Chains A and B, each alone.
Chain A
Amino acid sequence: MLEVRDLRISFRTEHGRVRAIDGVSFDVAESEILGVVGESGSGKTISLLAVMGLINDPNAVIEGSIKLRGRELIGLKASEMRKLRGREIAMIFQDPMTAMTPVYTIGWQIAEQIMVHERIGKKAALARAIDLLAEVNIPNPREAIERYPHQLSGGMRQRAVIAMALSCNPALLIADEPTTALDVTVQAQILDLIRKLRRVHKSAIVFITHDMGVIAETADRVMVMYSGRVVERGTKAEILLEPRHPYTKALLDSIPPLEGEKPRRLKSIPGSPPSLLDLPKGCSFGPRCPSRFDKCAEKPPLEGGAHAAACFLKAAP
Chain B
Amino acid sequence: MLLALIRRFGQMIFVMFGISVLVFLIFFVTPGADPAARIAGRNASPETLEAVRKSFGFDQPVWVQYYTLMKKLFVTQDLTSFVNRGWKVVPAVIDTIPVTLSLVIGAAVLWVIFGLLVGLIAAATRGSWIDKSLMALGLIGCAMPVYWLGEVMNLITQSRYHDSWMFSWVPPLGYKPLTEDPKGWFLTLVIPWITLSILYIGLYGRVLRANLIEAMQEDYIRTARAKGLSETRIMLRHALRTSLISFVTLFGLDFGALVGGAALLTEVVFGLQGVGKLTYDALQNLDLPVIMTTVIYASFFVVLANALVDVVYILLDPRVRSA
Closest to B241 in A: A103
A-binding segment of B11-19, B28-36, B179-187, B220-228: B220-228
Chain A 44-61 per-residue mask, 1 if CB under 8 angstroms from chain B, else 0: 000000001010100000
> Is A29 part of the contact surface with B, judged by Cβ < 8 Å?
no
Size range of the chain A interface in the assembly = 20 to 34
We find that the number of chain B residues with CB closer than 8 angstroms to chain A is 22
> Is B317 part of the contact surface with A, judged by Cβ < 8 Å?
yes
Residues in B219-249 with C-beta less than 8 Å from chain A: 219-220, 222-230, 233, 237-238, 241-242
A98 near B219: Cβ-Cβ < 8 Å: yes
> Is A95 part of the contact surface with B, judged by Cβ < 8 Å?
yes
> Is B318 part of the contact surface with A, judged by Cβ < 8 Å?
yes
Residues in B37-87 with C-beta less than 8 Å from chain A: none
B226 near A54: Cβ-Cβ < 8 Å: yes
B238 near A101: Cβ-Cβ < 8 Å: yes
In the complex, what residues of A have CB within 8 A of residue B237's CB? 112
Closest to B226 in A: A91
Q: CA of A150 to CA of B223 in the docked complex: distance in angstroms? A: 16
Closest to B215 in A: A101
Q: With both chains docked as a complex, state the minimum distance between the C-beta of A125 and any C-beta of chain B, in angstroms.
A: 13
Q: Which of B228, B317, B318, B319 contacts A85 (CB 8 A)?
A: B228
Q: CA of A219 to CA of B230 in the docked complex: distance in angstroms? A: 33
Q: Which of A56, A82, A99, A103 contacts B223 (CB 8 A)?
A: A99
In the complex, what residues of B have CB within 8 A of residue A151's CB? 322
Q: CA of A151 to CA of B119 in the docked complex: distance in angstroms? A: 31
- Report which residue of B224, B228, B241, B318 has the largest number of chain A beta carbons within 10 angstroms of its beta carbon: B228
Q: Which of B224, B228, B230, B316 contacts A101 (CB 8 A)?
A: B224
Closest to B319 in A: A150
Residues of A within 8 A of B (CB): 52, 54, 56, 82-87, 90-91, 93, 95, 98-105, 112-113, 116-117, 148, 150-151, 161, 164-165
Which 7 interchain pairs have the tightest Cβ spacing?
A86-B228, A85-B228, A98-B219, A148-B318, A86-B227, A113-B227, A91-B226
